[in-house]
Amino acid sequence: MTTTTQTPQRPPVAAAMPRKKAPRGIGGASITAFYWMVVPAVAAFAFFHTLPVLVGMFFSFTNYAGYGDWRFVGLSNYINLFRDDRAIGAYLFSFGFAIVATILTNVIALLIAMGLNAKIVGRNFFRGVFFIPYVLAILIVGYIFQYMFSNSLPKILVGIPVFRDNILTNPDWAWTAIVVLAVWQACAFAIIIYLAGLQTIPQELYEAASLDGASAMRQFRSITFPLIGAFFTINMVLSLKGFLQVFDHIVALTNGGPGTATESVTLLIFKGGFAGGEFAYQTANAVIFFIVITVVSLVQFRFLQSREADF
């Protein structure tokens, strides 16, 4: 008699494996929840930022004065800007001011950051003190500086011809007061960036360099500056971009005067566009200025980034 043994059948692999659940986000949240957070933010940005920009670009091809009727004028506004001596003067002033202020800000901020990175008494206290200018309202501080330049300095520095009278009324020297205020305020943020970079440098490098007899200047050239090259690039790009758009400092000190000696591009756009009946014309100026800042920032960033390896 033959006995047959039946082998139990195994369930299909597909049936035995558990079904995969839908992908989930951080902390188990559904991906859909992230869309509910992102989409409203994108919609609000498009409505309050992108749409007004597009509308402004549209009106830059018209003769719209900010009120009343308007008609298309094509590229007339853009062509006239290159013939406008006042606009050209504002661009020259903005670039000259931005270059001087950027250099001074980064030199002073780097020196202060190196001092605040050293082992000094009250280091955390001084770090907080040097950051205060960044959180103050620049218009309020600007009016304080205006009083100092107008009243205090002529009495204190009476022996210096430049400060004998109010420097803010001097067409040749009024820009220096704006540079002083802008650099004083901008150094606070630049110091924080440089401090962050300095704290990433291992102290062992300085100890080894000291054992080899390297001087402080040699350590700065060979260790400090090369290793904070990326932070230097960030500060230079942000500083130049910010100074090109200078506005509050000028309003508080000179309001563009004397005459138009300290009139920046942003102040010209504000005065002509909102108070001078040149809405479309200054909108075209704003479009050109936006392109100029974008190109300058990209070129500056690419150049400095390519030089980081040579620092």
278, part of any domain: yes
Whether residue 58 contacts residue 47, with contact meaning beta carbons closer than 8 Å, is answered with no
Q: What per-residue confidence (pLDDT) applies to 309?
A: 60
Side-chain half-sphere exposure of 13, counting CA atoms within 13 A: 0
Same domain? 63 vs 170: no
Copy the structure tokens of residue 19.
Answer: 């079904």
Domain count, the chain: 2
Query: Which residue range is the domain that position 60 belongs to?
Result: 25-76
Neighbours of 53 (CB within 10 A): 13
pTM of the model: 0.85
Query: What CATH code is carried by the domain that includes residue 142?
Result: 1.10.3720.10
Same domain? 34 vs 87: no
Same domain? 49 vs 183: no
Q: What per-residue confidence (pLDDT) applies to 163?
A: 75
Q: What per-residue confidence (pLDDT) applies to 44?
A: 95
Handedness of CA 145, 149, 155, 158 (dihedral sign): positive
Same domain? 143 vs 190: yes
Mark which of 41, 76, 111 sits at the end of a domain: 76
List, for the chain, all residue ranges whose pLDDT scores fall below the cut of 50. Answer: 1-2, 13-14, 28
18, part of any domain: no
